[in-house]
Amino acid sequence: MAAVKKSVSVKDVARLAGVSEQTVSRTVHDSPSVRPETKERVRAAMRELGYRPNFAGRSLRRGKFKTVGVAMFNITGTGNLDRMEGFAAAADKHGYAITLTKVDGHPYTLEGASSRMSALPVDGMVVIMNRMPADFGTFEPLPGMQTVLVTMLEHPLCSTVDNDQFDCSRQVVEYLLGQGHKTVHFISCPERSLSGMQREEGWRETLRAHGVEPPRLVRGDWTAQSGYAAGQALADDPTCTAIYASNDAMAYGCIRGLESRGKRVPQDVSVVGVDDSLGDIVPDRRLTTVRFDNKRVGMWAVDKIAGAEGVASGVEHMLIPGMLVEGDTVRDVR
Amino acid sequence: MAAVKKSVSVKDVARLAGVSEQTVSRTVHDSPSVRPETKERVRAAMRELGYRPNFAGRSLRRGKFKTVGVAMFNITGTGNLDRMEGFAAAADKHGYAITLTKVDGHPYTLEGASSRMSALPVDGMVVIMNRMPADFGTFEPLPGMQTVLVTMLEHPLCSTVDNDQFDCSRQVVEYLLGQGHKTVHFISCPERSLSGMQREEGWRETLRAHGVEPPRLVRGDWTAQSGYAAGQALADDPTCTAIYASNDAMAYGCIRGLESRGKRVPQDVSVVGVDDSLGDIVPDRRLTTVRFDNKRVGMWAVDKIAGAEGVASGVEHMLIPGMLVEGDTVRDVR
DNA sequence: TTGCACAATGGCAACGTTAACATTTGGTCG
DNA sequence: CGACCAAATGTTAACGTTGCCATTGTGCAA
């Protein structure tokens, strides 16, 4: 009658079924070398006792955890949900689980994330690198801990994967130039954002590659309010017929700011954003923007670890291009 | 010279430091009964060999994993990021880790999520219950697996926690009635959403409690587009001076829909949303809305499990109220 | 009848850690 | 000087699982 507190082990099952522990283990793994009727007896015993294999015993024996750790410096970031969706999907596919850890700390190092992870039951780790860690250049992954960084930067010892921010800007700028615009103005973001700076660099270099000297950029802070201010400022610039904002919120803010100064989008000015995050939110506009496949980024990272299965697969650098989505905020001026 | 593949155990450290394994273990846990100079010798050996304690051995010995599992039916959902932030923060506080699992399956059961989790190294689990599982009423948590459900519904055997959707609607409706509006129109959401239906019920019952027969609702689908259509439809209704939309996107869509029909917000019609999700996205409006503390929901869930520490603490039901945030989309008509 | 192959099962050890108990050492007090 | 105490360290066993090898049983060919 007393509640059974102790957990049930193979030993208990073996005793009840009248077989050896080994036979129980073999039944759990559905080995063909156990007679069907024996299996059934063992299974009945497992059901009766409520047996569930113990993860610790198993991992200790096997030396594998079938788990990938994910270290994030800040959890609330654009695209993180989609990335997690990707982590979870890929993990699922390989029979792995995902362990999440928030890493904070000043300074903010890969070494810190790594040592934190190493105390957890994981076979490898993914670091979402929103900001630049202090030790990026010198970091060495722990032996036996396959490490994938989510960043556009390359690393000599760790595989990396991310959206191709540079190519994103190239697509946008070339698209706008292709529509006949003479130049493309840019609304940037805070300088601490890695991906934002890469977008900025892509914008600048693509313009130069087409023989256009980049105009002075307007610095924003990711919010629509800053985009609004930028739009108002650019409304007075007669050379400004096309604006590229580093995210959709600023792009939308910019449109409203232009409108508040009597400019119409796209008749007078074309505007493009990035992230495709406003589809369900803005009812009366279809913003031209770039859609990233963050889920695919997440899957790639986990595939790299869970798919390797101990085989020391080489370091790879993967960039996943975004897709330009045409809305109604760009006008062909040719 | 040959790369050392095998992992380093206490035994190796003990041998190198010339002490017993127990002394190594004591050093790892910084026990006061080891002489400082011995500790230093051991630490040096650990560094030299790159020793890291093995999670599996430890958990096997201790019978605890110091990990909480989180089961989600769909990862991409409003507020999930904030909830995860809460999970991670609370886990951190208790020295726990978070293990994430996506549960899919038709039908969609707590039993399925639970048995999936039971094969992972977790001491307890949290289920984010976006939809209604088939076995909600009959589900029994596995013995030794403390289970917390994120839902507004109560459960006899599992603790539950969620935002108080009912109270959210009460706040909004009473606020609008308090501003002198005779009734409050409602833009609802798809019927499969649990929280959405609770908002709807709260709207209906609060109106009735104030002696107002709820007007016919307009069904939306969470998108701004559906809100836009609803706004256009309601613009022709002369009794409609106040609209409550079950999320911000629809509220914003509604505002634009009203405007497209010549109605001004808030001069002609007041509009309130839910979620406080548009702050950085809409530049020229401050939507009156309700802000939920999803991080706190997440923290409560993990606290319940990690804080219990084996003590069988009772089943609790926690509802966390949202906070009405006043913007510029409501007019006092008294 | 013997020998042999093969199917089914059992026994044992080891994975890495640490709680509980045992032992040694050095020092203090009666 | 011996008895006793505390500090520091060592020994043993156990947590649950499973790979390896040994053992038993069964049928069949020589």
pLDDT for the residue numbered B313: 67
Residues of B whose CB is below 8 A from A65: 55-56, 121
Residues of B whose CB is below 8 A from A143: 4, 50
Is the distance between the Cβ of A21 and the closest atom of strand D smaller than 7 Å?
A: yes
**Which stretches in chain B have pLDDT values below 70?**
1-6, 309-313
Handedness of CA A271, A236, A229, B252 (dihedral sign): negative
- Cβ pairs A/B, distance under 8 A: 165
pLDDT for the residue numbered B2: 33
Q: Pick the residue from chain A with its C-alpha nearest to B259.
A: A284
What distances in angstroms separate CA A255 from CA A182, A196, A249, A267, B261, one per listed residue?
20, 20, 10, 12, 21
Residue B89 tokens read as: 């923060």
pLDDT for the residue numbered B1: 31
Give the other-Cβ count within 10 Å of B179's Cβ: 16
pLDDT for the residue numbered B4: 43
Contact B89, B97 (CB under 8 A): no
Residue B281 is nearest to which of A5, A57, A281, comparing CB atoms? A281
What are the backbone dihedrals phi and psi of residue A73, each rounded to the nearest 5 degrees, phi first?
Answer: -85, -45
Let me know if B144 is exposed, middle or buried by CB neighbors in 10 A (0-12, 13-18, 19+).
Answer: middle
CB contact under 8 A, B256 and A284: yes
The crossing angle, in degrees rounded to 10, of helices B36-49 and B21-28 is 90
CA distance A185 to A250: 13
CA distance B302 to B283: 36
Residues of A whose CB is below 8 A from B112: none
Is the distance between the Cβ of A66 and the closest atom of strand D smaller than 7 Å?
A: no
Q: State the DSSP H helix or E strand holding residue B10, giving kind and residue range, or none if neither.
A: helix B10-17
Residue B41 tokens read as: 């010798």
Three-state secondary structure call for residue B285: coil
pLDDT for the residue numbered A95: 85
Three-state secondary structure call for residue B303: helix
Handedness of CA B81, B87, B90, B96 (dihedral sign): negative
Q: Pick the residue from chain B with its C-alpha nearest to A221.
A: B280
Query: Which residues, 6+ apart, have CB-to-CB distance to B277 below 8 Å?
Result: B78, B247, B248, B249, B289
CB contact under 8 A, A7 and B63: yes
pLDDT for the residue numbered B3: 36
pLDDT for the residue numbered A4: 44
Contact B243, B186 (CB under 8 A): yes
pLDDT for the residue numbered A33: 83
Only one residue has tokens 């190294």, namely: B121
The set of strand D positions with any atom below 7 Å of a protein CB reads 7-20
Q: Is B76 on the interface with A (CB under 8 A)?
A: yes
CB contact under 8 A, A76 and B75: no
For chain A of 334 residues, list the mean pLDDT of each consecutive stretch of 10.
Answer: 60 90 91 87 90 90 90 84 93 90 81 87 91 90 89 94 97 98 96 90 97 96 96 95 96 96 96 93 93 97 82 82 96 90
pLDDT for the residue numbered B312: 53
Residue A171 tokens read as: 């697509």
CA distance B84 to B79: 9
